[in-house]
Amino acid sequence: MTRSDVIAFEIKPASLTMAENLNIAEGDKIFYVKRVRYVDDNPITVEETWLPTEMFPDLSYQVMQGSKYDFIEKQKGMVIDRSEQEIVPILPPEDIAALLDIDPKQPIIEKRTRGHLADDTVFEYSRNYLKSSDYKFTLVAKRHRS
C-alpha cells in the first residue's frame, strides 16, 4: 500500500537556479511541493517538486496526494516524453533524515530529475531523497554496432 503525505504546497517566485532548471524566467511563479512517499507506513522517499504555475494553474494539494503524472497525462492531456536524472550520494539534511526516520550520518541517494513533455518543454524539476537501504539501481550500457 503506497501513499503520499503532502507537507508543503506553496506558490513562490522562481529563483535563478530553479528558473534555469525549468527553462522559465527568474521570478516566474512556480509551485513548490514537498511530500513523503510511504510503502506500508515505511517512509521510502522525500520528494521536492517544482512546477511552473502557468502550465498547471489548476494543480491542487489534493492532486499531489495522488499521482502527479496521472494528473498531467489524463487530466491535462499532456504527453510525457522522458526524464533526465542525476543520482548523487549525499548525507541527508536534518529535516530529510527526520522524515525518513534515519540517522543523519547514514548516506542517502539524491535523485535530481527534469521531466520533459513530447514537445521538449520542461514541466518539472524534482529532487527525491531515497534511503540507500530501500533502493538499488541497475544500469545497462549497450554498445551501438557501426
- 84: containing domain: 2-131
Tell me, yes or no, whether 142 lies in a domain. no
Residue 39 belongs to some domain of the structure: yes
61 in Cβ contact with 32 (< 8 Å) = no
- CATH code, domain with 19: 3.40.1410.10
- What is the pLDDT tens value at each position of the chain, 146 positions in all? 888 999 999 999 999 999 999 999 999 999 999 999 999 989 999 999 999 999 999 999 999 998 899 999 999 999 999 999 999 999 999 999 999 999 999 999 999 999 999 999 999 999 999 987 777 778 788 888 87
Other CB atoms closer than 10 Å to residue 118's CB: what's the count? 10
pLDDT value of residue 60: 94
Calculate the CA dihedral of residues 116, 122, 124, 129 and round it to 10 degrees: 70
Provide the number of structural domains found in the chain: 1
User: How high is the pLDDT of residue 143?
Assistant: 86
What's the rounded Cα separation, in Å, for the pair 122 and 70?
17
pTM of the model: 0.89
Cβ proximity of 113 and 84 under 8 Å: yes
What does the DSSP 8-state code read for residue 121?
A: -
Q: Residue 9 domain-assigned?
A: yes
Specify which residues 16 forms β-bridges with: none
In a domain, 49, yes or no: yes
Residue 101 included in any domain: yes
Position 141 in a domain: no
